[in-house]
């Protein structure tokens, strides 16, 4: 059996792909355009598996996507490819609309035609799984209840607006055409292989270099933190047991203020990398992100009661593992810092597809 995974060289997609290669006997076709956020070094051991096939392709390239579906005849697609960073979306929204909305539209059309042509029982078993975010629900006050699957959409950033657009397309392709879709909306992931533009890896790498730790605004914005391996397991469970047309929230049960996250990180770093202690001397308050959502919180009761999923990692143990991973993987860190992995990409993949 074959699964397609888009965004497989990114932070979450690579985790999903590594898990699938390590823990199943399926063939995994990973698709990625290798933007600045896609790093083939994140394939890890899976890079050498005969069950992993990498397709260097852009999801907006309809002909390539049709060719990939035809060639591999997948039983499902897990769609994670996206422009994912809120700050970048504020400075350059067009790429977000292009990849997140048009790219998802392209995949939906290609998948729909492919699905329509499938014989039974493959047709009934096919799934289009779309990975989305809690940011589509907007911002909560400190006393608001957590987001549920039925919370109305109110995206505030160009990133979340583009993800909301893609979510609506997925919903419509199920409702109108009957495509067997699954959708998940999850909170902030963290863990190994995370590109250092996001809060946690940026703080770890800056702290290791003795650079300032930039906290936006008053530092009191709240996020829910989900360890990436837990997220990947949730996605695999939804793929196997979720009901087509349904949406599932995925959360880490770990709401934290940003400033508390940074202080906890500094304490872990003081222990694991005492040379730079105390790291919290590096904390620097900086200008706030425009339109910065105040609080996200996620209610994942549906996933827990219907499919029996809960996060296994506590925030404190997950953070410790994450810091240790960055300390243990200076090659990955250096390649990302210097952009050297681009050379690796050119050497290994340019001109091959």
Footprint on this chain of ligand DAU (rule: CB under 6 A):
84-86, 133-135, 187-188, 198-199, 202, 214-216, 221, 223, 258, 289, 296
> Which of ligand NAD, ligand DAU, none binds 295 (CB below 5-8 Å, type-dependent)?
none
Q: Which residues are catalytic?
A: 134-135, 159
Regarding 139 and contact with ligand NAD (CB under 6 A), the answer is no
Closer by beta carbon to ligand DAU, 155 or else 242 = 155
Task: Show contacts with ligand NAD in window 301-340 (CB under 6 A).
Answer: none
Task: Compute the least distance from the CB of residue 174 to ligand DAU, in Å.
Answer: 22
Task: Compute the least distance from the CB of residue 11 to ligand NAD, in Å.
Answer: 4
Closer by beta carbon to ligand DAU, 14 or else 84 = 84
Closer by beta carbon to ligand DAU, 68 or else 336 = 336
The alpha carbons of the chain give a radius of gyration, in whole angstroms, of 20
Regarding 28 and contact with ligand NAD (CB under 6 A), the answer is no
Task: Show contacts with ligand NAD in window 147-186 (CB under 6 A).
Answer: 163, 186
Q: Which residue is nearest to ligand DAU (CB)?
A: 133
Task: Compute the least distance from the CB of residue 125 to ligand DAU, in Å.
Answer: 29
């Amino acid at each position: 059996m074959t699964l397609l995974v888009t965004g497989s060289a990114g932070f979450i997609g690579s985790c999903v792909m590594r898990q699938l290669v390590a823990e199943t006997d399926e063939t995994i076709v990973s698709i990625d355009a290798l933007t600045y956020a896609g790093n083939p070094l994140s394939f890890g051991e899976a890079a050498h598996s005969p069950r992993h096939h990498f397709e260097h392709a852009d999801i907006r390239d309809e002909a390539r996507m049709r060719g990939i579906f035809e060639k591999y005849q997948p039983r499902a697609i897990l769609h994670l490819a996206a422009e994912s960073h809120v700050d970048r979306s504020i400075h350059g929204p067009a790429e977000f609309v292009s990849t997140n909305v048009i790219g998802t539209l392209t995949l939906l059309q290609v998948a729909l035609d492919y699905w329509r042509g499938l014989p039974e029982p493959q047709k009934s078993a096919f799934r289009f799984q779309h990975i989305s975010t809690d940011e589509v629900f907007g911002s909560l006050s400190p006393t608001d209840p957590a987001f549920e699957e039925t919370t109305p959409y109110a995206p505030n950033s160009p990133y979340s607006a583009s993800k909301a657009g893609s979510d609506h397309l997925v919903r419509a392709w199920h409702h109108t055409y009957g495509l067997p879709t699954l959708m998940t909306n999850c909170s902030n992931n963290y863990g190994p292989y995370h590109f250092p533009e996001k809060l946690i890896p940026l703080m770890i790498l800056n702290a290791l270099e003795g650079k300032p730790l930039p906290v936006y605004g008053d530092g009191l914005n709240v996020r829910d933190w989900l360890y990436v391996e837990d997220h990947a397991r949730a996605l695999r469970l939804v793929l196997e047991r979720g009901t087509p047309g349904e949406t599932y929230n995925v959360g880490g049960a770990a709401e934290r203020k940003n400033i508390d996250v940074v202080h906890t990180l500094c304490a872990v770093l003081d222990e694991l990398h005492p040379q730079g202690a105390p790291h919290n001397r590096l904390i620097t308050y900086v200008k706030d992100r425009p339109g910065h959502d105040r609080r996200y919180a996620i209610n994942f009761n549906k996933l827990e009661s219907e499919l029996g999923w809960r996060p296994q990692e506590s925030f404190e143990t997950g953070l410790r593992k994450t810091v240790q991973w960055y300390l243990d993987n200076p090659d990955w860190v250096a390649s990302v810092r210097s952009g050297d992995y681009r050379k690796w990409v050119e050497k290994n993949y340019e001109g091959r597809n």
